A and B are shown apart, each in its own frame.
Chain A
Amino acid sequence: MDKSVAFARIIKYGLLNFWRYRWLSTTALLVTTISLLVFSGLLAINQVATITAQSLKSKVNISVFFSKDVPAETIKEITAEIEKIDEVRSTKYISAGEALADFKSRHADDPLIQKTLDQLKDNPLESSLVVSAKELDQYPVVISKLERSRFQPLFKSINFADNQKLIDILQRVTRGIRNFGFLLVAIFSSVAILVMFNTLRLTIFSRREEIEIMRLVGAFNWYIRGPFILEGVLYGFFGTIIASALLFPAMRLLSPQIMRFFGISLDASTYFSWGFWKLALLELGFGVALGIASSIIATRKHLKI
């Protein structure tokens, strides 16, 4: 048989069967959608947790305050020296003027503070250097090196102690997410896979006589299987569309709450837009692959000699 003709016929009957067995298709589609929702929901939660942990991590830093009489040139030299420390990821210099402007804008709604500041002749704030480490557990090392630095006498203070508790919590949370998040996704995904596979297997089982008829009429196995595999693809494809259509608005709805709860200023909707497409593609690949695999395995049993 001409392969293109056979292929066209497989497509035709795959689509026709999907429509004509629509109640069966609806059930299989529902199960596929739920399975994909479970899978991608867990992935999304995992992603949000990781992003939140990373965002909070970026808020952790060391502030080195300089005495007022330290000249700008010296601060530059200190900055260069600190940046050479292996564990340091980045530094950011905040001049006394910038610190005052930032303070004013943060307390713009407080007239008493504004009045007090206006009455002050000199800027009471110091210039500072914000130092970020590469990893959370490297902050103690950085502090130790700062305290032993030859410029240490020029530091008015090194502010870190307040963040120690937060760092400890974050480290525990990040470790927990890494260890258990993957396990949870694996477990629930396996359950989802089994449910979806079983449903497709039952769908095909209920049409076993049809397979037998096709076999007895002299159809090759691939010609019999083709429409069933296409149906598996359709379940995976439409299941993904529906699951994404449900998940995406839910994520958009929840992202402001998540931002508020964790106090992160990350533009989650932007992340979710980009992350969503990655997730949707992963779902699509997963759903379609599962649909195909289930159909192949389920038809094999009925395609004996």
Chain B
Amino acid sequence: MIEFKNVSKSYKAGLVVALKNVDLEILQGEFISIVGKSGAGKTTLLRMITLEEKPDSGTILIEKQDIGRITSKDAPLLRRKIGFVHQDIKLLPQRTAAENVAFAMEVNGVSNRQIFKDVPKILDLVGLREKSSAFPTELSGGERQRVAIARALAHKPVLLIADEPTGNLDDENAWDILQLLLKINEFGTTVLLATHASQLVDRIKKRVVTLDSGKVTFDQKRGHYKI
């Protein structure tokens, strides 16, 4: 579903190498943990998929389409196929949990009637139906992250990217979030999880890709955390 072909990226005129000759194939329905030290290139890899960064060389294909040819005008259309969850839990602060989820659907042109029907179901999926009218400031860290996941799912993405989603959470909440991601994966959504949480990675026994100084150094189908 996603193919990185010899992708390289650097900053500050080549002084900082983020990715170097990365070859990586991600199949539909996979759950992949991308691990590595800080600065290994995990976030850069993920940002390239959402077109927030462009590679200096190489090609990235999503569903056989070279995303390097996508113009800024059409970039939103690609982003609608991708759900994302960040460590700093980016929720719209002046909108309720339900409105945050609804926003992703509105952007996709879903009708108000459909939104009214689906939003409670999506919040139910993440266990937050009773908190639909709460603003982000009224939710705990774990709850906010679950709203973010709900929003990411709202427009039925084919790919869900989670960049350190458990970074600011305690162990219990982190495990809850991970279980949610696994559940989503079971429904057929491909999940890319960038994380430092070694214990979680080892627990779930899914494919692990390790990045070190911008290169893929380890790629194991039922892997464990190794940097």
Report yes or no: B94 in contact with A217, Cβ–Cβ below 8 A: no
**Residues from chain A with Cβ under 8 Å of B52 in the complex:** 216, 305
* Cross-chain contact of B106 among A9, A17, A212, A213 (Cβ < 8 A): A9
Q: Is the CB of A21 closer than 8 A to any CB of chain B?
A: yes
- A218 lies within 8 A of B107 (CB): yes
B108 contacts A by Cβ under 8 Å: yes
Given contacts A305-B51, A305-B72, A305-B75, whether A217 and B91 have CB atoms under 8 Å apart is: no
Interchain CB contact under 8 A, A210 and B107? no
Mask, B29-64, CB within 8 Å of A = 1, is: 000000000000000000000111010000000000
Q: Which of A182-238 contact B (CB under 8 A)?
A: 209-210, 212-221, 223
Also in contact, A212 and B103, with CB within 8 A (given A5-B109, A218-B155, A220-B76): no
Closest residue on chain A to residue B88 by CB atoms: A209
The answer to whether the Cβ of A1 comes within 8 Å of any Cβ in the partner chain is yes
Min Cβ gap B67→A in Å is 11
Q: Does A253 contact B (CB under 8 A)?
A: no
**Nearest chain A CB to B62 CB, angstrom units:** 14
A1 to chain B, nearest CB (A): 3
B196 at the interface (CB under 8 A from A): no
| Minimal beta-carbon separation of B106 from chain A (angstroms) | 6
Q: Which residues in A have their C-beta under 8 angstroms from that of B72? A: 304-305
Q: Is the CB of B107 within 8 A of A213?
A: no
Which residue on chain A has the smallest CB distance to residue B72? A305
What is the total number of residues of chain B having a CB less than 8 Å from a CB of chain A? Answer: 28
Contact check, B109 vs A20: say whether CB atoms are below 8 A apart: no
Nearest CB in chain A to that of B77: its residue? A218
Q: Is B104 an interface residue (CB 8 A)?
A: yes
Tell me if B91 and A213 are in contact (CB < 8 A): yes
A20-B94, A305-B51, A305-B75 known; A218+B109 contact, CB < 8 A: no
Count of A-B contacts with CB under 8 A? 60
**B94 contacts A219, CB within 8 Å?**
no
Quick check: A2 and B109 within 8 Å, CB to CB?
Answer: yes
Q: Is A6 an interface residue (CB 8 A)?
A: yes
Q: Write out the residue numbers on chain B whose beta carbons fall within 8 Å of the beta carbon of A221.
A: 76
Interface residues on A, range: 20 to 34
Are A213 and B79 in contact, CB atoms less than 8 angstroms apart? no
Task: Decide if B111 touches A217 in the complex (CB within 8 Å).
Answer: no
Min CB–CB distance A282 → chain B (angstroms): 34
The verdict on B227 contacting chain A, using a C-beta distance below 8 Å, is no
User: Contacts A209-B90, A210-B93, A212-B90 hold; do A217 and B151 have CB atoms under 8 A apart?
Assistant: yes
Q: How far is the CA of A20 from the CA of B108 in the complex (A)?
A: 24
Given A305-B51, A305-B72, A305-B75, A218-B108 contact (CB < 8 Å) = yes
Cβ contacts under 8 Å, B106 to chain A: 9
- Which of A20, A213, A218 is within 8 Å of B76, CB to CB? A218
**Shortest distance from the beta carbon of B93 to any chain A beta carbon, whole Å:** 7
Is B84 at the interface (CB under 8 A from chain A)? Answer: yes
Q: Contact at B103–A216, with CB atoms within 8 Å?
A: no
Contact for B107 among A20, A209, A223, A304, CB less than 8 A: A223
CB of B80 within 8 A of CB of A214, answer no
Taking a contact as CB atoms under 8 Å apart, the answer to whether A214 and B107 are in contact is yes
Closest chain B residue to A2 by CB distance? B109
Asked if A217 contacts B75 (CB within 8 A), the reply is no
Give the chain A neighbours of B77 by CB distance below 8 A: 218
Within the complex, what minimum Cβ distance (angstroms) separates B47 from chain A? 10
Residues of B within 8 A of A305 (CB): 51-52, 54, 72, 75
Are A219 and B76 in contact (CB-based, < 8 A)? Answer: yes
Please give me the residue from chain B that is nearest to A305 by CB atom. Answer: B72
Chain B nearest CB, measured from A20 CB (Å) = 4
Question: Given that A305-B72, A305-B75 are contacting pairs, would A219 and B90 also be in contact in the complex, using a CB cutoff of 8 Å?
Answer: no
B contact set with A: CB distance below 8 Å: 50-52, 54, 72, 75-80, 82, 84, 90-94, 103-104, 106-109, 111-112, 151, 155
Lowest 3 A-B CB distances belong to which pairs? A1-B109, A218-B80, A218-B79
